[in-house]
Amino acid sequence: MANRARYAVASVTGALVVLGTLASCGTGDGTAGASPQPPASAGRTAGDSPPRTATSPDGTVVSPSGTAASPSDRAPTAPGRTDRPGTRCRTAELSAAVGRMDPGAGQRNFPVVLTNVSSRTCTVYGYPGAAFVDAAGEQLGRDPERTAGDATTVTLAPGESAWSGLRYASPGVSGARTATPATLLVTPPDERQPLEVPWRSGPVPVSGNASSVFLTVLQPGSGP
């Protein structure tokens, strides 16, 4: 009987030790705690960036899944603009030409005309780019300067045109050094690819006194 009593006491003591061990692994309120969860950033290595969005050519922000973002995520347009990025005329949708010279007061004035040759209505805003180049494609003279003016959005239906005034002092009057360009490169507003227009109006000032060339903002029509 004594041996059985000692065995029972030992069994009860062992059970109490096991319960005590389990209690030390619990949470602060005495209940058994679940394994700690990894933080939300787990699985990302140091230096990882959040998912990025892309921007389509017309200014629409596109998510990684390929869907367009909300209007508030669209790329902003230039201050004061009223057109949407998707309506802008692209270089491939336009042709360029130089109109007849209009001389006056020691100046040579030309309309630089952009015409919508596409099947959709598009818009131009502001100033075109322009550069005289020789037969080797090297620029002659400095970039044209912009004449102050109020830019407005010009809407071009298929076949319609907008023009910008290009002017410079007559070299015979100003005494500027001249060169005869092969081509006038005309770049539509907000575009990078220029249109090539053969230059047939003789020498232009490239350096020296009064050698600056000036451009005006685009306006509807094909010239004054």
d(CA 20, CA 77): 70
d(CA 66, CA 168): 49
Q: Which two tokens stand for residue 123?
A: 């818009």
- Identify the pLDDT of residue 70: 36
Is the torsion defined by CA of 89, 90, 95, 98 positive or negative?
Answer: positive
- Identify the pLDDT of residue 85: 57
Residue 55 — very low, low, confident or very high, per pLDDT cuts 50/70/90? very low
- Identify the pLDDT of residue 171: 83
| Among 100, 88, 222, 224, CA closest to 159 | 222
| Among 109, 119, 115, CA closest to 128 | 115
Across 38-60, b (16+ Cβ under 10 Å) vs e yields eeeeeeeeeeeeeeeeeeeeeeb
pLDDT digits (tens, 9 = 90+) for 166-219: 999 988 888 889 999 999 999 999 999 999 999 999 999 998 777 889 999 999
- Identify the pLDDT of residue 152: 93
Residue 52 — very low, low, confident or very high, per pLDDT cuts 50/70/90? very low
d(CA 87, CA 145): 27
- Identify the pLDDT of residue 175: 83
Residue ranges of domains in the chain, CATH in brackets? 52-81 (no CATH), 86-220 (2.60.40)
- Identify the pLDDT of residue 209: 72
| Among 214, 185, 190, CA closest to 110 | 214
Q: Which two tokens stand for residue 218?
A: 């685009």
Residue 91 has pLDDT above 80, yes or no: yes
- Give the residue with greater pLDDT, 55 vs 76: 55
Residue 11 has pLDDT above 80, yes or no: no
Between the alpha carbon of residue 224 and those of residues 81, 99, 111, 172, the distances in Å are 24, 10, 8, 25
- Identify the pLDDT of residue 105: 80
Single-letter code of the amino acid located at 49: S
Residue 60 — very low, low, confident or very high, per pLDDT cuts 50/70/90? very low
Residue 165 — very low, low, confident or very high, per pLDDT cuts 50/70/90? very high
* Mean confidence (pLDDT) of the chain: 73
Secondary structure (H, E, C), 126-193 = CCCEEEEECCCCCECCCCCEECCCCCCEEEECCCCEEEEEEEEECHHHHCCEEECCCEEEEECCCCCC
pLDDT digits (tens, 9 = 90+) for 112-143: 999 999 999 999 999 999 999 999 999 999 88
- Per DSSP, what are the bridge partners of residue 144? none
pLDDT digits (tens, 9 = 90+) for 68-80: 443 333 333 333 4
Is the torsion defined by CA of 70, 71, 76, 77 positive or negative?
Answer: positive
